[in-house]
Amino acid sequence: MRINYCVHCFAEITPDIQQCPYCGVVIQEWVRSLDYETRLIHTLDHPLAAVRMRAIIALGKRRDSQAADSLVRCALRHPVDVVEGLEIVDSLRCLHPERARSKALACLAHGHPAHAVRQAAAHALTAMADEKPR
Ligand SMILES: [Zn+2]
C-alpha cells in the first residue's frame, strides 16, 4: 500500500484520505489557503530527508529571504545530515537581501555541529565579503 503524508502534520495517511484523521486538516483546503513559499518553508519540517531536500533546493531558487531562519533551524535540527546542511548553505547563499543571508550564514558558521557545514558557511561569508565593492 502506498503511503502519503499529511501536508500539515506529516502523519502517515493513505492517498485516498481527504481530511487528516490526526490533525483534522482538509488536505486540499490547506494547500489552497497557503502560498507556495509558505508551503515550502513548512515542508522543511517533513520527516523524510528527500522531501526536505527538494524544499531546500526550491527555496534557494526562489531567493526569498523569508526562508532564511527556517533554513537555519532545519540545518540545526538535523546536525548529522551533512549533505542537507551543505545544501542549506548553498540555498542561503542565493537569498536576498544580503543582510538576512549573512545573518543566517553566520549562525551556521558558528553554531552548526558539523565541521564541514561550519566551514562551508564561513567560506560563503568570506566570498560575499570579497564580492562587495570597495
Ligand atoms: Zn495531519
Which tens digit of pLDDT belongs to each residue from 6-57?
A: 999 999 999 999 999 999 999 999 999 999 999 999 999 999 999 999 999 9
| Within-domain flag for 50 | no
Q: How many other C-beta atoms lie within 10 A of the C-beta of residue 69?
A: 14
Instruction: Tell me which of 25 and 97 has the higher pLDDT.
Output: 25
| Within-domain flag for 89 | yes
| Within-domain flag for 54 | no
**pLDDT classification of 98: cutoffs 50, 70, 90:** confident
The reported pLDDT for the residue numbered 130 is 84
The Å distance, Cα 38 to ligand 1 centre, comes to: 17
The reported pLDDT for the residue numbered 44 is 97
The Å distance, Cα 7 to ligand 1 centre, comes to: 7
Percentage above 70 pLDDT, the chain: 97
Is the pTM here over 0.85, yes or no? yes
Count of residues in the chain: 134
The Å distance, Cα 64 to ligand 1 centre, comes to: 27
The Å distance, Cα 9 to ligand 1 centre, comes to: 4
Q: Is residue 97 predicted with pLDDT exceeding 90?
A: no
The Å distance, Cα 96 to ligand 1 centre, comes to: 32
Contact (Cβ atoms closer than 8 angstroms) between residue 95 and residue 65? yes
| Average pLDDT value over all residues in the chain | 94
| Within-domain flag for 20 | no
**The domain containing residue 75 runs over which residues?**
63-131
SS3 80: coil
Could you tell me the three cell numbers for 26? Answer: 482538509
| Parallel, antiparallel or unpaired: strands 12-13 and 4-5 | antiparallel
Please state the domain count of the chain. 1
The reported pLDDT for the residue numbered 134 is 56
Contact (Cβ atoms closer than 8 angstroms) between residue 46 and residue 52? yes
The Å distance, Cα 20 to ligand 1 centre, comes to: 5
The Å distance, Cα 27 to ligand 1 centre, comes to: 8
* Phi/psi of residue 79, nearest 5 degrees: -65, -25
The Å distance, Cα 53 to ligand 1 centre, comes to: 21
Secondary structure letter of residue 131 according to DSSP? H
